[in-house]
């Protein structure tokens, strides 16, 4: 993975001191809260319901062992012993004290970590496919471009006061595991007619109160031109994005007001100018230099079949269950990708304790080539595991309560922190997700239902991606009562779609029954092993609606 040199390290260190001075000026009264707020947000520091919250960047979701140990240490020393992984592959600590924050930043800097641009109206931490570098279907490792963009976007002098936040995601594979079409910019590696690898650039996707699927603006952009192209998109947005209304300030509103053709024309004009100046042309040598950091580990020459693995599958039913959902094919024979569920039944999705983090660090050393990933689905991924190590790995995970066999199943719920933590939320989301997990706890049933992605947000800002859920749940507040609206048929994958609202919002006591009714309707209608999402797309939402609201 990427390693800092003296330039990167100096920058992060200086950023800590810069922030220390900003905090000091706030305490001295030289900055008012209105002026201080965007400055602290650009360093990931929020003021929430009960305390400050600190959001730490995990660039493209990749963590090294010493970074994992540092997160465990921070959870222990400065927080309440646990942290929370988010849908943007970041880690959040919900209980730090303001006075400790500069010291936390110093500790993070010692392991090449920081909170730079994890919030605020700037280019945020860039996310990527969590199977990067391991997936069998990959055209290229998306993290190379992510790191190039990380450098380009960090402290970009022109784009630090954009109309609104700006999120970029990259997939190196045609199978989109990074939800790129729900980002301000989504980038997909693609080959052109002559077989050269470049990028498709989707612009204007997003969730929130006005969800849009991103439109293909850059039909194919070469590697050396990609930064110039992105700079063109950002400049058009910076100049013409709306600044008069917070709710209409994202680039999706601009793109959809102009239409794809006019947006493309404006971007191309700007792109032509920037490209002609040549200053952002990316030299081949620079790409090659960054690629070296992401070279695959020294894989052993193994046959794809592993006797140890096969034997354990027949011997150990729990291991077999886990393997079915949490093990994915690797591009290297004899290796596998292991998904570690942070969705243990009854626990808060994405939460992880300091003991679990330390345990995972040891597992990374022992089985995982010292690397781990955070997925936007709030799970973790060991990208490179020898198949023959999977039984031992599972036993170790299980002992840490990290062996839940539910990746991609109905209990693998994406869920924002909701009203239990967040001052934006209208309703609690964690207890609802726990109640759904509880209802569908029977693994046989979960497995029979197959892939069902439930995504839940406690407010319209959609941190829990409810628009893209096969079943999406949105918490709303109606006259002080927490209610929940259901959407059906969303997808964050390559077949991106926004779910349709099923009907009037339901109370917390009804929502689990409603999910059950949806699932039972699906079971009655499904054909030839199709997924819930496929059934909804085939039949429309009507039969589901009828069943859910039959009792009303």
Nearer to another protein, 5 or 317 (CB): 5
Using CA atoms, how far residue 245 sits from 203, 241, 250, 463, 539, in Å, is: 20, 10, 10, 20, 38
Nearer to another protein, 140 or 270 (CB): 270
Minimum gap (Å) between residue 14 Cβ and another protein = 5
Minimum gap (Å) between residue 366 Cβ and another protein = 35
Where residue 377 falls (left for φ over 0; alpha for ψ -120 to 50; beta otherwise) is alpha
Of 348, 350, 547, nearest in space to 428 by CA:
348
Nearer to another protein, 149 or 436 (CB): 149
Nearer to another protein, 15 or 181 (CB): 15
Of 96, 138, 156, nearest in space to 421 by CA:
96
139 DSSP 8-state letter: S
Contacts of 424 (CB under 8 A, 6+ apart): 459, 461
Minimum gap (Å) between residue 17 Cβ and another protein = 7
- As a whole number of angstroms, the distance between CA 321 and CA 177 comes to 22
Using CA atoms, how far residue 356 sits from 95, 345, 379, in Å, is: 18, 16, 13
- As a whole number of angstroms, the distance between CA 269 and CA 89 comes to 34
Using CA atoms, how far residue 406 sits from 322, 336, 345, 514, in Å, is: 7, 17, 10, 21
Nearer to another protein, 21 or 293 (CB): 21
Per-residue burial over 216-251, b = 16 or more CB atoms within 10 Å of its CB, e = otherwise: ebbeebebbbbbbbbbbbbbbbbeebbeeeeebbbb
Minimum gap (Å) between residue 521 Cβ and another protein = 48
Minimum gap (Å) between residue 185 Cβ and another protein = 16
Of 365, 380, 368, 360, nearest in space to 91 by CA:
380
Per-residue burial over 442-469, b = 16 or more CB atoms within 10 Å of its CB, e = otherwise: ebeebeebbebbbbbbbbbebbbbbbbb
- As a whole number of angstroms, the distance between CA 426 and CA 327 comes to 36
Nearer to another protein, 41 or 352 (CB): 41
Nearer to another protein, 25 or 331 (CB): 25
Of 91, 87, 98, nearest in space to 58 by CA:
91
Minimum gap (Å) between residue 285 Cβ and another protein = 9
Of 340, 469, 463, nearest in space to 406 by CA:
340
Minimum gap (Å) between residue 277 Cβ and another protein = 6
Asked if 163 and 174 touch (Cβ cutoff 8 Å), the reply is: no
In the structure encoding, which two tokens stand for residue 109, read together?
A: 């800097």
Minimum gap (Å) between residue 254 Cβ and another protein = 13
Minimum gap (Å) between residue 161 Cβ and another protein = 3
Nearer to another protein, 38 or 334 (CB): 38
Kind and range of the H or E run holding 90: none
Where do contacts with another protein occur on this chain (CB under 8 A)? Answer: 5, 7-8, 10-11, 14-15, 17-18, 21-22, 31, 35, 38-39, 121, 151-152, 154-163, 235, 238-239, 243, 273, 277, 279-280, 286
Minimum gap (Å) between residue 158 Cβ and another protein = 5
Minimum gap (Å) between residue 179 Cβ and another protein = 26
Asked if 127 and 376 touch (Cβ cutoff 8 Å), the reply is: yes
Nearer to another protein, 10 or 192 (CB): 10
Helices (H), 376-510: 390-399, 430-439, 443-449
Minimum gap (Å) between residue 167 Cβ and another protein = 17
Minimum gap (Å) between residue 231 Cβ and another protein = 8
Nearer to another protein, 7 or 195 (CB): 7
49 DSSP 8-state letter: S
Which residues are 471's β-sheet partners?
454, 488
Nearer to another protein, 19 or 544 (CB): 19
Q: Helix axis angle, 33-41 relative to 6-27, nearest 10°?
A: 160
Nearer to another protein, 182 or 237 (CB): 237
- As a whole number of angstroms, the distance between CA 157 and CA 491 comes to 35
Minimum gap (Å) between residue 393 Cβ and another protein = 38
Nearer to another protein, 136 or 246 (CB): 246
Tell me phi and psi for residue 328, to 5 degrees.
Answer: -125, 150
- The residue whose two tokens read 């707020």 is 37
Nearer to another protein, 250 or 396 (CB): 250
């Amino acid at each position: 993975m990427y390693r800092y040199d003296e330039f990167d390290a100096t920058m992060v260190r200086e950023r800590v001191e810069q922030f220390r001075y900003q905090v000091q000026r706030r305490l001295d009264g030289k900055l008012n809260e209105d002026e201080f707020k965007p400055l602290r947000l650009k360093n990931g520091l929020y003021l929430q319901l009960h305390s400050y919250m600190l959001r730490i960047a995990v660039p493209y979701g990749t963590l090294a062992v010493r970074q994992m140990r540092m997160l465990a240490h921070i959870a222990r020393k400065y927080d309440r012993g646990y942290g929370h992984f988010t849908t943007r592959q970041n880690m959040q600590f919900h209980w730090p004290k303001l006075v400790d924050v500069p010291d936390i930043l110093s500790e993070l800097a010692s392991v090449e970590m920081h909170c730079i641009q994890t919030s605020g109206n700037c280019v945020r931490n860039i996310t990527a496919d969590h199977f990067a570098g391991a997936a069998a279907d990959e055209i290229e490792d998306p993290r190379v471009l992510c790191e190039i963009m990380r450098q380009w976007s960090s402290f970009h002098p022109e784009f630090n006061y954009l109309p609104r936040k700006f999120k970029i995601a990259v997939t190196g594979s045609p199978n989109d595991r990074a939800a790129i079409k729900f980002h301000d910019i989504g980038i997909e590696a693609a080959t052109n007619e002559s077989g050269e690898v470049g990028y498709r650039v989707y612009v204007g996707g997003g969730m929130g109160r006005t969800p849009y699927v991103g439109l293909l603006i850059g039909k194919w952009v070469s590697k050396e031109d990609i930064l110039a192209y992105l700079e063109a998109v950002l400049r058009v947005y910076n100049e013409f994005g709306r600044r008069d209304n917070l709710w209409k300030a994202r680039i999706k509103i601009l793109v959809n007001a102009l239409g794809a053709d006019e947006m493309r024309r404006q971007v191309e004009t700007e792109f032509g100018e920037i490209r002609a100046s040549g200053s952002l042309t990316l030299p081949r040598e620079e790409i090659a230099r960054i690629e070296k950091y992401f070279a695959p580990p020294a894989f052993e020459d193994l046959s794809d079949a592993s006797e140890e693995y096969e034997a354990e599958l027949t011997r150990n039913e729990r291991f077999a269950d886990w393997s079915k959902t949490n093990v994915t094919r690797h591009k290297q024979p004899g290796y596998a990708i292991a998904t570690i569920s942070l969705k243990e039944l009854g626990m808060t999705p994405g939460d992880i304790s300091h003991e679990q983090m330390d345990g995972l660090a040891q597992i990374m050393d022992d089985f995982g080539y010292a690397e781990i990933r955070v997925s936007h689905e709030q799970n973790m991924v060991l990208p490179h595991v020898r198949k023959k190590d999977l039984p031992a790995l599972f036993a170790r995970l299980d002992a840490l309560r990290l062996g839940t066999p539910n990746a991609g199943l109905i209990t693998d719920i994406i869920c924002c922190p909701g009203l239990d933590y967040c001052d934006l939320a209208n309703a609690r989301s964690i207890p609802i997700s726990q109640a759904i997990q509880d209802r569908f706890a029977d693994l046989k049933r979960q497995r029979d239902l197959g892939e069902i992605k439930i995504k839940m947000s406690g407010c319209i800002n959609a941190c829990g991606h409810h628009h893209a859920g096969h079943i999406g749940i949105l918490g709303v507040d109606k006259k002080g009562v927490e209610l929940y609206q259901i959407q059906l048929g969303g997808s964050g994958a390559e077949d991106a779609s926004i779910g349709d609202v099923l009907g009037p919002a339901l109370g917390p006591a009804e929502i689990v029954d409603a999910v059950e009714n949806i699932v039972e309707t699906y079971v009655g209608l499904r054909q030839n092993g199709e997924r819930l999402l496929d059934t909804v797309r085939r039949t429309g939402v009507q039969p589901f609606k009828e069943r859910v609201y039959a009792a009303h």
